[in-house]
Amino acid sequence: MTNTEIIKGGYEAFSRGDVVDLFARFAPDIEWTSPSGSPRDLAGVYKGHGEVQSFFGKVLAAYGEHMAVRPLEFVESGDRVVAFGLLEARSDSGHVVTLGFVHDWALADGKATRMTEYFDTAHWAALLAG
Protein backbone atom coordinates (compact mmCIF):
# COMPACT_ATOMS: atom_id res chain seq x y z
CA MET A 1 0.00 0.00 0.00
CA THR A 2 1.35 3.45 -0.89
CA ASN A 3 1.49 6.28 1.63
CA THR A 4 -1.27 8.04 -0.31
CA GLU A 5 -3.48 4.94 -0.06
CA ILE A 6 -2.87 4.81 3.70
CA ILE A 7 -3.88 8.45 4.16
CA LYS A 8 -6.79 8.29 1.71
CA GLY A 9 -8.09 5.24 3.57
CA GLY A 10 -7.89 7.23 6.81
CA TYR A 11 -10.19 9.92 5.41
CA GLU A 12 -12.58 7.20 4.25
CA ALA A 13 -12.52 5.62 7.74
CA PHE A 14 -13.22 9.03 9.33
CA SER A 15 -16.16 9.61 6.95
CA ARG A 16 -17.80 6.34 7.93
CA GLY A 17 -16.99 6.73 11.64
CA ASP A 18 -14.61 3.74 11.74
CA VAL A 19 -12.33 4.80 14.60
CA VAL A 20 -10.56 1.42 14.75
CA ASP A 21 -9.49 1.59 11.09
CA LEU A 22 -8.58 5.27 11.39
CA PHE A 23 -6.33 4.85 14.43
CA ALA A 24 -4.74 1.70 12.99
CA ARG A 25 -3.20 4.06 10.40
CA PHE A 26 -1.61 6.27 13.10
CA ALA A 27 1.66 5.61 14.89
CA PRO A 28 1.17 5.38 18.68
CA ASP A 29 3.11 8.65 19.11
CA ILE A 30 1.41 10.58 16.28
CA GLU A 31 1.54 14.37 16.59
CA TRP A 32 -1.57 16.18 15.35
CA THR A 33 -1.52 19.98 14.98
CA SER A 34 -4.63 22.10 14.58
CA PRO A 35 -3.68 25.71 13.78
CA SER A 36 -3.56 28.55 16.27
CA GLY A 37 -6.76 30.54 16.03
CA SER A 38 -8.91 27.52 15.14
CA PRO A 39 -12.49 28.27 16.12
CA ARG A 40 -14.41 26.34 18.76
CA ASP A 41 -11.37 25.72 20.98
CA LEU A 42 -9.70 23.18 18.67
CA ALA A 43 -6.25 24.78 18.30
CA GLY A 44 -3.33 22.85 19.70
CA VAL A 45 -0.81 20.08 19.37
CA TYR A 46 -2.17 16.67 20.30
CA LYS A 47 0.33 13.86 20.94
CA GLY A 48 -0.41 10.15 20.91
CA HIS A 49 -3.60 8.21 20.35
CA GLY A 50 -5.21 9.40 23.60
CA GLU A 51 -4.82 13.11 22.89
CA VAL A 52 -5.82 12.71 19.22
CA GLN A 53 -8.94 10.80 20.34
CA SER A 54 -9.64 13.71 22.70
CA PHE A 55 -9.26 16.13 19.76
CA PHE A 56 -11.79 14.14 17.71
CA GLY A 57 -14.14 14.20 20.71
CA LYS A 58 -13.84 17.99 20.78
CA VAL A 59 -14.57 18.11 17.02
CA LEU A 60 -17.70 16.01 17.53
CA ALA A 61 -18.83 18.20 20.43
CA ALA A 62 -18.18 21.38 18.43
CA TYR A 63 -19.75 20.31 15.14
CA GLY A 64 -21.90 17.26 15.83
CA GLU A 65 -22.73 15.34 12.70
CA HIS A 66 -22.51 18.49 10.61
CA MET A 67 -18.77 18.24 9.92
CA ALA A 68 -17.22 16.74 6.80
CA VAL A 69 -13.64 16.59 5.62
CA ARG A 70 -13.47 16.09 1.86
CA PRO A 71 -10.00 15.53 0.41
CA LEU A 72 -9.87 16.37 -3.29
CA GLU A 73 -6.22 15.85 -4.23
CA PHE A 74 -3.19 14.07 -2.80
CA VAL A 75 0.48 14.76 -3.52
CA GLU A 76 3.04 12.20 -2.33
CA SER A 77 6.78 12.68 -2.04
CA GLY A 78 8.72 10.04 -0.15
CA ASP A 79 7.40 9.82 3.40
CA ARG A 80 5.13 12.87 2.99
CA VAL A 81 1.58 13.12 1.71
CA VAL A 82 -0.18 16.46 1.32
CA ALA A 83 -3.96 16.46 1.02
CA PHE A 84 -5.90 19.40 -0.42
CA GLY A 85 -9.62 19.53 0.23
CA LEU A 86 -12.68 21.14 1.72
CA LEU A 87 -14.03 21.38 5.26
CA GLU A 88 -17.82 21.49 5.51
CA ALA A 89 -19.87 22.39 8.56
CA ARG A 90 -23.10 24.04 9.60
CA SER A 91 -22.85 27.68 10.64
CA ASP A 92 -24.48 29.01 13.79
CA SER A 93 -27.42 30.13 11.63
CA GLY A 94 -27.80 26.68 10.05
CA HIS A 95 -26.20 27.27 6.65
CA VAL A 96 -23.70 24.79 5.21
CA VAL A 97 -20.31 26.50 4.84
CA THR A 98 -17.13 25.27 3.15
CA LEU A 99 -13.48 26.23 3.35
CA GLY A 100 -10.33 24.90 1.72
CA PHE A 101 -7.68 23.08 3.76
CA VAL A 102 -4.23 21.59 3.41
CA HIS A 103 -3.20 18.60 5.55
CA ASP A 104 0.52 17.82 5.65
CA TRP A 105 1.14 14.19 6.67
CA ALA A 106 4.42 12.48 7.55
CA LEU A 107 4.62 8.69 7.63
CA ALA A 108 7.10 6.04 8.78
CA ASP A 109 6.77 2.28 8.45
CA GLY A 110 3.27 2.58 7.00
CA LYS A 111 1.88 4.71 9.84
CA ALA A 112 1.11 8.42 10.07
CA THR A 113 3.51 10.04 12.54
CA ARG A 114 2.47 13.67 12.10
CA MET A 115 -0.41 15.68 10.67
CA THR A 116 -0.32 19.46 10.43
CA GLU A 117 -3.49 21.21 9.33
CA TYR A 118 -3.57 24.55 7.49
CA PHE A 119 -6.59 26.72 6.76
CA ASP A 120 -7.69 30.35 7.11
CA THR A 121 -8.86 30.26 10.73
CA ALA A 122 -10.25 33.81 10.77
CA HIS A 123 -12.31 33.22 7.63
CA TRP A 124 -13.55 29.87 8.99
CA ALA A 125 -14.62 31.52 12.27
CA ALA A 126 -16.47 34.23 10.32
CA LEU A 127 -18.23 31.65 8.14
CA LEU A 128 -19.30 29.63 11.18
CA ALA A 129 -20.64 32.73 12.93
CA GLY A 130 -22.77 33.66 9.90
pLDDT, tens digit, for every residue of 21-64? 999 999 999 999 999 998 888 999 999 999 999 999 998 888 87
Whole domain around residue 8: which residue ranges?
Answer: 3-129
CATH of the domain at 121: 3.10.450.50
Rounded Cα gap, residues 13 and 1, in angstroms: 16
Number of domain units in the chain = 1
Q: Provide the pLDDT for residue 111.
A: 99
Per-residue pLDDT averaged across 78-88, rounded? 97
pLDDT exceeds 80 at position 65: no
Using alpha carbons, select from 13, 120, 21, 124 the residue that is nearest to residue 71: 13
Residue 96, burial from CB neighbour count under 10 angstroms (0-12, 13-18, 19+): exposed
Rounded Cα gap, residues 86 and 119, in angstroms: 10
Q: Provide the pLDDT for residue 66.
A: 83
Percentage above 70 pLDDT, the chain = 100
The answer for residues whose C-beta is within 8 angstroms of residue 12's C-beta and 6 or more apart is none
